[in-house]
Structure 1
Amino acid sequence: MSAPGSATELRSGKGANDENFPVASHLIHPKNRGAILAFYDFVRAGDDVADHAELSPERKLALLDGLADALTGAGPSDPEAEPLKRELAARGLPPRHALELLDAFRMDARKTRYADWDELIHYCRYSAMPVGRYVLDVHGEDPARVWAASDAICAALQIVNHLQDCGKDFRALDRVYLPQDTLDRHGATVAMLGADKASPQLRAVVRELAERTLGLLDDGKVLPDLIDDLRLSLEIAAIHRLAVILARGLLDRDPLSEKVHHGKVGFALTALGGIAATLARRPFRGRIVRAAPHGKVFP
């Protein structure tokens, strides 16, 4: 069988509605949803390349380079890149955030293990943080005010997904995002990810990482109050509340044998709680913004 000639041929069929967290829900103003969905579709194409089990690392890198060149105009046009290219041009936005996501997928093509938490956060800097930054930029929010809190939330969302999918990632792709030093600290091994049920040692690893993830979510909890656009503020509040519930669930649940993610009804109720809390604080937003600490923005 010949190697696929384009990213389009490798599409998994997974879409925005299949993600663990909302992507441009109807809380987002229609004028901005198209730009966010175009970004998602481009990134999805790259992710499908990186996650393809039968492609060599070299072929993945070549296809990812092709997507980057199509987006920047350095290479031939690609149908996966054109919608986002048009949106960026219409808004006068650079391709930086999308290109950084492609850098994360290049990491996935080359790298399957992480030594420690800092190395994992470095991966999140490229695999997750650009998503939040792009959405904020589309809405015209002030990066100096909102990027740091957004980075913390986006990293947390990424790690929640890693923890939920740790068994599947290992079995399907031999990819392990659980840091090696955390595994060692609890006497766990990578091989334990292939079991039907997590060992006590592996459960301890997941619990420690879930606690650290809750710390990230605490760092980012002020973000909805820092955002000017009310609809985006409510979207992020809903996502943040869902992430907190899922991270807390990982303190006690076994991701190898138990379902961690909530169904649609559970998500809706959780999201409504986040929205209601944010609306209740909105009259005091000015005071909250003035008191908000400045967090670390990753370069």
Structure 2
Amino acid sequence: MERPGAGDHGGLVSRAADFASGKGHGDENFPVASRLVRAELRAPILAFYRFARAADDVADHATAGPEEKFEQLARLEAGLRGDAGGSPEGEALRRVLQVRNLTDQHALDLLEAFRRDVVKQRYADWAELMDYCRYSAAPVGRFVLDLHGESRTLWPMNDALCAALQVINHLQDCAKDYRALDRVYIPLDVLAAEGIGTEALADSQASRALRIVIAGLAHRTDALLDLSRPFAGRIADRRLALEVGVIQTLAESLCARLRRRDPLSQRVHHNAVEMAGLAAYGAAAVAIGRIGRMFGHGQAALPGNRG
């Protein structure tokens, strides 16, 4: 994740605005409320995104102390619940949820993840990391599904895809997270199995042991993407299905790169041209599959993209 650059006010961050990183939905590694989504649903998705971005900026602030961070996260929750002193992002999302008759549980789950980020710097194993992803990633997709009126039977595939996206971001940014915040999402047991510790993330280039760790975690993430691959084909809303297909394709490509590249010294993120090409490919694969099912030909598919 990119880190905020708000100033240090004598060790205190005095205003909510001081926590803002300036990062917006267009800066994310994966599409957020793209034009594939129905126009009338983009504003609610962006309200949810701004709530999540505000909480993320608080949890990741480089100079604010835990007490200040918890206070700002409490303001976000107060706004969500309609209590006095609530943040504008929480109040805006609350209005969206009321108009759409949607639960606030997904947003509350996100706040649980960000509260963990304030105090939790290490993850013992994969299971502990997946529990974190249950709160930090899955609620985003669940909210979008609820907003579109999709069946909650899709949640397991959604959760697999969202967890995969979260782990990919963690692996891409592993050195940055360690250097800026001393936060490590790579499970400690897999580091120990290769005879290294978290200090390996401070190097300018990954050691052979760290490359093995990253490639192994990318392989485990591939297993999550295998679980989510049918997801787009089972979404009723055509435009949302196309967006999920795009995200799945981008994630598979990034996972392949993480098996080959060193995120400490090499670029893993897609550039604009690469992203556009992969997005077109992912959308086309979903569209062809839907056409095939319409004419009774089952699940049509293009060859998988792994690069």
Q: CA separation in 2, counterparts of 1:161 and 1:221?
A: 19
Q: 1:51 aligns with which of 60, 78, 89?
A: 60
Q: 1:227 aligns with which of 219, 222, 235?
A: 235
1:134 Cα offset (Å) = 0.4
Asked if 2 retains the 8 angstrom alpha-carbon contact of 1:7 and 1:45, the reply is no
Q: CA separation in 1, counterparts of 2:105 and 2:59?
A: 19
Give the structure 2 partner of residue 293 of structure 1: none
- What are the equivalent positions in structure 2 for 1:268-283 lying under 5 Å apart? 268-283=276-291
Deviations 1:14-43 (A, max 9, x none): 000011111111101111000000000011
Q: What is the aligned-residue identity percentage?
A: 50
Q: 2:116 aligns with which of 100, 104, 107?
A: 107
Unmatched 5+ stretches in structure 2: 1-8, 300-307
> What is the aligned length?
289
SS of 1:251's equivalent in the other structure is: helix
TM-score (norm 1): 0.93
1:51–1:289 CA distance, 2 compared to 1 (3 A): farther
Give the structure 1 partner of residue 102 of structure 2: 93
SS of 2:89's equivalent in the other structure is: coil
Q: CA separation in 2, counterparts of 1:12 and 1:134?
A: 24
Counterpart AA for 1:253: R
Asked if 1 retains the 8 angstrom alpha-carbon contact of 2:163 and 2:224, the reply is yes
1:127–1:288 CA distance, 2 compared to 1 (3 A): farther
Asked if 2 retains the 8 angstrom alpha-carbon contact of 1:156 and 1:216, the reply is yes
1:289 Cα offset (Å) = 9.8
TM-score (norm 2): 0.91
Q: CA separation in 2, counterparts of 1:151 and 1:6?
A: 34
Asked if 2 retains the 8 angstrom alpha-carbon contact of 1:116 and 1:179, the reply is yes
Give the structure 2 partner of residue 66 of structure 1: 75
Matched, 1:182 2:177: no
Counterpart AA for 1:128: A
Asked if 2 retains the 8 angstrom alpha-carbon contact of 1:8 and 1:80, the reply is no
Q: 2:207 aligns with which of 199, 204, 215?
A: 199
Q: 1:122 aligns with which of 113, 118, 131?
A: 131
Deviations 1:62-96 (A, max 9, x none): 21011101111233232122221111111011111
Provide runs of 4+ in structure 1 moved above 4 Å: 284-290
Asked if 1 retains the 8 angstrom alpha-carbon contact of 2:246 and 2:280, the reply is yes
Asked if 2 retains the 8 angstrom alpha-carbon contact of 1:50 and 1:60, the reply is yes
- What are the equivalent positions in structure 2 for 1:125-140 lying under 5 Å apart? 125-140=134-149
Give the structure 1 partner of residue 245 of structure 2: 237
Which structure's relative contact order is higher, taking Cα pairs within 8 Å and 6+ residues apart?
1
Asked if 2 retains the 8 angstrom alpha-carbon contact of 1:7 and 1:46, the reply is no
Matched, 1:37 2:36: no
Q: 1:10 aligns with which of 14, 19, 24?
A: 19
Asked if 2 retains the 8 angstrom alpha-carbon contact of 1:27 and 1:235, the reply is yes
Asked if 1 retains the 8 angstrom alpha-carbon contact of 2:218 and 2:256, the reply is yes
SS of 2:117's equivalent in the other structure is: helix
1:285 Cα offset (Å) = 4.3
Pairwise CA RMSD of aligned residues?
1.6
Give the structure 2 partner of residue 83 of structure 1: 92
Q: CA separation in 2, counterparts of 1:179 and 1:193?
A: 13
Asked if 1 retains the 8 angstrom alpha-carbon contact of 2:225 and 2:248, the reply is yes
Counterpart AA for 1:19: E
Counterpart AA for 2:51: F
Counterpart AA for 1:240: Q
Q: CA separation in 1, counterparts of 2:201 and 2:148?
A: 40
Deviations 1:230-259 (A, max 9, x none): 000000100100000000110010000000
Asked if 1 retains the 8 angstrom alpha-carbon contact of 2:13 and 2:68, the reply is no
1:7 Cα offset (Å) = 2.9
Counterpart AA for 2:35: H
Matched, 1:212 2:220: yes
Give the structure 2 partner of residue 249 of structure 1: 257
Counterpart AA for 1:4: V
Asked if 1 retains the 8 angstrom alpha-carbon contact of 2:242 and 2:282, the reply is yes
